A and B are shown apart, each in its own frame.
Chain A
Amino acid sequence: METQTNSRLAELYPMMRRIRTFEERVGELFVRGQSAGSMLHLSIGEEAAAVGVGAAMRDGDTFTTHHRGHGVFLARGADPRLMMAEIAGKETGYCSGKGGSMHIADMKLGHLGANAIVGGGIPSVVGAGLAARHKRSDSVSVAFFGDGATGQGVLYESMNMAALWRLPVLFVCINNQYGMGTRIDNATADPDLYKRAIPFGLKGAAVDGSDVEAVAEIAGEMIGDARAGKPGFLVVDCYRFYGHARMDKSPYRDDAEESEGRLRDPVIKARETLISRGEIDGSSLDEMDQNIAAEMDATIDFAADAREPQLDSIFDDVYDPSTPPPESVRGRLARILGQSQ
């Protein structure tokens, strides 16, 4: 059977599947006891936000993410093996094992950093936008954050600055309905979050986060606007399929809600659409999914086999390497008490 593989959806589907499968493997890494800790926040159900917006960005654009940012980083070109190694706390990982899931970054791909402080990475894009303007570059900087960050003042400060200075910035709120265990309607007086754009004169929009084509389309428009000095605020509505972090069994929400929320599955929806449009048949998609599964399976072994950090590296990179590292407690003891420990 002939298949047509050049539609937008056909291009976007594989990355959504890669993110889904990667995060399932992150869960396995944890179950196998090979993750560094349990502070692992999965974006399963939110893949269209990462892939739709990520596809609308260009090389040279920069971004910050929140603690639930694996998907965005993959969508912007991350190597899943180096990500998994970082999540396992290995020297081979993106941040030499010092950052982990919540602080992953890669300057080469424009990832200015995942952030474990809710809203903490948002003002960085204002600075990146100022730098782009200063250097007459046409790069855009995108802040990805969750609905929980709409409770943080720093978001509104940064939205105001971006609008005031007409910076090449896009704010992307991935509204998965939950800030940890608190549903958005318990955390805000008006859950129509896109309206937050209005008082600042930003272009605001909300889009169905189960529809990656729709996300890519609106993100493309808004990033184009941002590049022209018209910053925006995009809300991608989706549902967090699993708990806040790996240890969270979501006791604060009922099964009926979860079942209904998981019906809004951007990966399944894309797959069914591809089949119903006759773009790719089911067996070709199965084969693609199996190849992705093999790729992601390999990340677990890669991470498990990766080098541990050297203990000596513990004092590295507190300050620039041209300056002396902090003195260790043992070093100081030896010096003061005159005994080698």
Chain B
Amino acid sequence: MGKTTYRDALRQALSDSMTTDPNVVLIGEEVGRYGGAYGVTKSLIDEFGPERVIDTPISEPSIVGAAVGAAMSGLRPVAELMYVDFIGMTMDQLANQAAKIRYMFGGQIGVPMILRTQGGTGRSAGAQHSQSLEAYVMHTPGLRLAMPATVSDAYHLLRQSLAQPDPVVFIEHKALYATSGELDDQTPVAPWGKAHVPRQGDDLVIVTYSRQLHYAILAADKLAKDGIEATIIDLRTLNPLDIDTIRTHVERCGHAMVVSEGVMTAGVAAELAARISEECFDFLENPVIRIAGEDIPISVSPLLETNSVPTPELIADAARMMRS
């Protein structure tokens, strides 16, 4: 397919899925005429009409709740939550309804819906529009969680999510929409639930996802100049979590760092570090190091914002300290 952007790859995935499956509908604030707050759904209303691209009032709980009911009634809804920061508004419908319906009802029915949203820093959007709240989702059994880092996964991970029988929270990163790359729309880098290893070295493993993948690659390039060769694992999905790939590489390298933009305490990085420590204890030569968001809100000031979350420099410095 050639070169495209993360934003356009997402739109292509939605368009292709809607073409293939007439039961796929989009529902959310500004998804129609406006084309999505970040332009992901631009022009889809022209292609598929207002009955399949449904603009809603600003009513996040009922947007997600309507998606739950629609998914139980034979549709495959893709609800959009404009910012992941608003997930607290929807948490009842997400955590008490979507996540639990299959289990509470004894397996009678699943809720095959997607909640598309975006998070992260990078636009001076402030404390209520810049968070990385994937831990809220990962902490809720019954919800799948996908976080694409690349153009290829913007397309393929969304297509894969749309094939899941269970609810998927799909969190994009706002700083990635304009990034570009090659998209082969026939070939994903990995199947659903499997991590991708874009770089392989023997000295340490960096386990990451979403935008921090790119920071880890920048850090690894610098580290290579110092003679430190890093393996990088892009998890792609946090639920399912591909612990097998993590274990394989950590056992080989003996040093592991996890990198996440979410705040450190009780976060995704904490969970990953605990898993690695348990699974690979006999192979580890250092404690598993967490590089995560500071335990603070995000500022509007670009200087403060940038330093609230991991940077390539911080990742590289941490790796050097581990290997010194």
Interface membership of B227, Cβ < 8 A: no
Binds B, one of A45-53, A96-104, A298-306: A96-104
Encode A133-170 as 1/0 by CB contact (under 8 A) with B: 11100000100000000000110011011001100000
In the bound complex, do residue B59 and residue A128 qualify as a contact, i.e. CB atoms below 8 Å apart?
A: no
Enumerate chain A residues within 8 angstroms of B104, measured Cβ to Cβ: 95, 98-99, 103, 105, 113
In the bound complex, do residue A336 and residue B279 qualify as a contact, i.e. CB atoms below 8 Å apart?
A: yes
Interface membership of B101, Cβ < 8 A: yes
A133 to B70 CA separation, bound complex (whole angstroms):
11
Enumerate chain A residues within 8 angstroms of B164, measured Cβ to Cβ: 320
User: Which chain B residue shows the least CB distance to A324?
Assistant: B240
Question: Given A95-B106, A117-B92, A120-B92, does the pair A112, B97 have CB atoms closer than 8 Å?
Answer: no
A94 to B108 CA separation, bound complex (whole angstroms):
9
Interface membership of B103, Cβ < 8 A: yes
Interface membership of A177, Cβ < 8 A: no
A125 to B72 CA separation, bound complex (whole angstroms):
10
In the bound complex, do residue B106 and residue A99 qualify as a contact, i.e. CB atoms below 8 Å apart?
A: yes
In the bound complex, do residue B105 and residue A154 qualify as a contact, i.e. CB atoms below 8 Å apart?
A: no
- Closest approach, in angstroms, between the C-beta of B158 and any C-beta of chain A? 19
User: Which chain A residue shows the least CB distance to B89?
Assistant: A153
Interface membership of A107, Cβ < 8 A: yes
Interface membership of B75, Cβ < 8 A: yes
Question: Given A120-B93, A125-B69, A317-B107, does the pair A154, B61 have CB atoms closer than 8 Å?
Answer: yes
In the bound complex, do residue B62 and residue A96 qualify as a contact, i.e. CB atoms below 8 Å apart?
A: no
Interface membership of A187, Cβ < 8 A: no
- Closest approach, in angstroms, between the C-beta of A53 and any C-beta of chain B? 18
In the bound complex, do residue B57 and residue A120 qualify as a contact, i.e. CB atoms below 8 Å apart?
A: no
Question: Given A120-B92, A160-B59, does the pair A131, B74 have CB atoms closer than 8 Å?
Answer: yes
In the bound complex, do residue B102 and residue A318 qualify as a contact, i.e. CB atoms below 8 Å apart?
A: yes
User: Which chain A residue shows the least CB distance to B104?
Assistant: A103
Enumerate chain A residues within 8 angstroms of B107, measured Cβ to Cβ: 96, 316-317, 321
Chain B interface category by residue count: 35 or more
In the bound complex, do residue A319 and residue B108 qualify as a contact, i.e. CB atoms below 8 Å apart?
A: no
Is chain A's binding surface mostly helix, strand, loop or mixed? mixed
In the bound complex, do residue B57 and residue A95 qualify as a contact, i.e. CB atoms below 8 Å apart?
A: no
In the bound complex, do residue A112 and residue B92 qualify as a contact, i.e. CB atoms below 8 Å apart?
A: no
- Closest approach, in angstroms, between the C-beta of B90 and any C-beta of chain A? 10
A194 to B56 CA separation, bound complex (whole angstroms):
25
A64 to B108 CA separation, bound complex (whole angstroms):
15
B residues 271-294 touching A (CB-CB < 8 Å): 278-279, 281
In the bound complex, do residue A317 and residue B103 qualify as a contact, i.e. CB atoms below 8 Å apart?
A: yes
User: Which chain B residue shows the least CB distance to A135?
Assistant: B74
B residues 78-105 touching A (CB-CB < 8 Å): 92-93, 96-97, 101-105
Enumerate chain B residues within 8 angstroms of A105, measured Cβ to Cβ: 101, 104-105, 108-109
In the bound complex, do residue B65 and residue A117 qualify as a contact, i.e. CB atoms below 8 Å apart?
A: no
Most chain A CB atoms below 10 A, which of B52, B56, B77, B104: B104
Question: Given A123-B68, A154-B65, A336-B279, does the pair A62, B102 have CB atoms closer than 8 Å?
Answer: no
Enumerate chain B residues within 8 angstroms of A129, measured Cβ to Cβ: 69
A125 to B66 CA separation, bound complex (whole angstroms):
7
Encode A116-129 as 1/0 by CB contact (under 8 A) with B: 01001111111111
A117 to B106 CA separation, bound complex (whole angstroms):
18
Contact of B69 among A107, A123, A324 (CB under 8 A): A123
Interface membership of A326, Cβ < 8 A: yes
Interface membership of A132, Cβ < 8 A: yes
Enumerate chain A residues within 8 angstroms of B148, measured Cβ to Cβ: none
Interface membership of B51, Cβ < 8 A: yes
Contact of A124 among B65, B103, B141, B165 (CB under 8 A): B65
- Closest approach, in angstroms, between the C-beta of B103 and any C-beta of chain A? 5
Enumerate chain A residues within 8 angstroms of B96, measured Cβ to Cβ: 117, 120
Question: Given A123-B93, A127-B65, does the pair A317, B102 have CB atoms closer than 8 Å?
Answer: yes
In the bound complex, do residue A154 and residue B62 qualify as a contact, i.e. CB atoms below 8 Å apart?
A: yes
In the bound complex, do residue B70 and residue A130 qualify as a contact, i.e. CB atoms below 8 Å apart?
A: yes
Interface membership of A106, Cβ < 8 A: yes
In the bound complex, do residue A317 and residue B166 qualify as a contact, i.e. CB atoms below 8 Å apart?
A: no
Interface membership of A259, Cβ < 8 A: no
In the bound complex, do residue B62 and residue A98 qualify as a contact, i.e. CB atoms below 8 Å apart?
A: no
- Given contact pairs A124-B97, A134-B23, A326-B141, a sample of 8 additional A-B residue pairs in the complex whose CB atoms are under 8 Å apart: A105-B105, A113-B104, A120-B65, A130-B69, A135-B74, A157-B61, A161-B57, A317-B102
A-B contact pairs, 14 of them (CB 8 A): A94-B106, A98-B103, A98-B104, A105-B101, A124-B72, A127-B67, A130-B69, A130-B70, A133-B51, A134-B52, A141-B73, A158-B62, A319-B142, A332-B278
List residues of chain B with CB under 8 Å of any chain A CB.
Answer: 23, 25, 27, 51-52, 54, 56-57, 59, 61-62, 64-75, 77, 92-93, 96-97, 101-110, 141-142, 144, 164-166, 240, 278-279, 281
Closest 4 CB pairs of A and B: A123-B65, A127-B69, A124-B69, A96-B106
